[in-house]
Structure 1
């Protein structure tokens, strides 16, 4: 199996700010702006939140409620009205999809989605990021692949439930690919858990950024992540990116790039780590 650390959601270049950790501890990954998308931020349905108001105030109106939202990955049934047959999915294209193809991604592999987050609050009736808090990389969702579908292979009207998805409304690209989720996980001891979903509440286990660091891309990982003589996390082959300590290792993650692939079969401890993340607490 392969574990794909997939960077998704708002950050300083896509959206202009982090996604919020809400006052009740919920992680709300904001989909990046997309002028071609048929979905607007105001269309999103999030319990207890007006997403159009939230995104407008956190971005200081750089993005507003009528802006197009690239809802991808799309993991929660309740975010929009759905047609029959809807399934959670992720789309990928361009060089990022080329990298996934070269890494041999196939059904059964697991995406772990991460993004840039910061604590937010309502202050004087407006959303803002809490002063003094730092942005950090957090894991926020997962998807185990059931099917891989190339958009070029779809015939018009073949799967009507897909017509809303932003990867069906972009520029033509032979790499344009959809990853459809399994109904339930096919992993040891986890087959009672949904094959895709979000981590609803912040948990320290979801934090990738080294605690106390003001640089989100300095990651503190379990010591078994250290590659030694094994194939490292893709895009992270340079030895100087890694430091090993008795209890953990540090990784200077690359500043850009969307998909980082770990050949989990080379890292036996990865199965228990994934199980601890995905098992309900």
Structure 2
């Protein structure tokens, strides 16, 4: 719903505090009551976020789910993870109004009935159904726009090939090999970078914002390459990624979409202020 570990944790804690102040024995449907409370708290958080947002939307990425490769779920569970928390879906959700987002997530992803959703958004059942319908059309439209990049479920062999492409990207960046970078980048590659409110001098990811095209992304990679950084393979939202450390401290999280042997998308989170809220796995060398 929120795309933020911190805000999600706050929403759950607020719901439990409200439950603690209530007479639980008088609640006929505890699951429905908790869903309603959490939904309303999330709705208020989304409205507050929209009201105070000062930074461009492109400069803020939803929090990623990061796992070690050896702790990764099986292929079926991995597909569910990618579909449910994939960055593409979360970015589309950020374009919806708070009521649309609430109605779509609760109904389409969690199967909550519209007669339960209606009181949360302060609309009639029919109006709530329309909110979800509008959101669904936008989500499907975004999915259709990216259908050309759709691939079959990733196998172990595919994952190894993707990992090799990512390793070639970093080797070229560290070696100052501009042509080598162009060889592994799709001509229309997109880089999205989020450094939070405080950037660090680690130089491992990118300047905030969006870069498009192989030449721009390659120049950015050369500018921010850091030979002192250590790369730890990871899965980020179910896709091939790395956690970058400098002097033993996390400095960046990066996710790569690889299609046809070339990198088509890079998502990067960096800066200590941005990373300290993430749930990062314990990393080895």
- Structure with higher Rg: it is 2
| Greater fraction helix | 2
TM-score over 0.5 (shorter chain): no
The two structures have a TM-score, normalised by structure 2, of 0.28
The two structures have a TM-score, normalised by structure 1, of 0.28
| Greater fraction strand | 1
